[in-house]
Amino acid sequence: MRTTGNNFSLEGGLKALAEPTRLTILALLSRYDQLCVGQLVDALGLPQAGVSQHLRVLRYQGIVKVEREGQWAYYAIVPERISQIAKKVQDITKGDYQIPKDVVRSLETSAIEHPRNTGKTRNR
């Protein structure tokens, strides 16, 4: 099965997952391992062009892969990519995300003006 390559960015991955139809597609692929576009069209009740566009977005981000077999194209989840997205989100919530220094500096400067914000970080 093929993905479109190494186009991964956390922002792109989250944006791809932020659409309800794409989440439904992932849920279906999770339940049935692999499905062709026609099966997804029937299940979702959407036009083929719309389903194909959703799959294209997911594939571009490497979230799904495609295997062609004659006239059929079967789509499946790339579990490693889902794990990668989940780990990056977890890193952010644990404080392991590299915040640009100018953003931190700006926040620390504005903390002086706000009595409840000391400019200190939480202990983790």
Q: What pLDDT shows up at residue 112?
A: 63
pTM of the model: 0.76
Q: Is residue 19 part of a domain?
A: yes
Q: What pLDDT shows up at residue 116?
A: 66
Q: What pLDDT shows up at residue 117?
A: 60
Domain count, the chain: 1
Q: Is residue 38 part of a domain?
A: yes
pLDDT beyond 90 at 19: yes
Average pLDDT taken over every residue of the chain? 86
Say how far apart CA 22 and CA 38 lie, in whole Å.
15
User: HSE (CB half, 13 Å, CA atoms) of 22?
Assistant: 20
Q: Is residue 73 part of a domain?
A: yes
CA dihedral 53, 57, 60, 63 (to 10 degrees): -120
pLDDT beyond 80 at 119: no
Q: Structural domain of residue 78, as residue ranges?
A: 10-82
Burial class of residue 58, CB neighbours in 10 A (0-12, 13-18, 19+): buried
Q: Is residue 92 part of a domain?
A: no
- For residue 13, give the nearest of 61, 80, 76 by alpha carbon: 61
What whole-number percentage of the chain has pLDDT above 70?
A: 81
Q: Is residue 2 part of a domain?
A: no
The per-residue pLDDT for range 33-71, each reduced to its tens digit, is 999 999 999 999 999 999 999 999 999 999 999 999 999
DSSP state of 96: -
- Stretch (H or E) spanning 34: strand 34-36
For residues 110 and 90, which has the higher predicted lDDT (pLDDT)? Answer: 90
pLDDT beyond 60 at 2: no
| CATH classification of the domain holding 56 | 1.10.10.10
Q: Is residue 88 part of a domain?
A: no
What whole-number percentage of the chain has pLDDT above 90?
A: 64
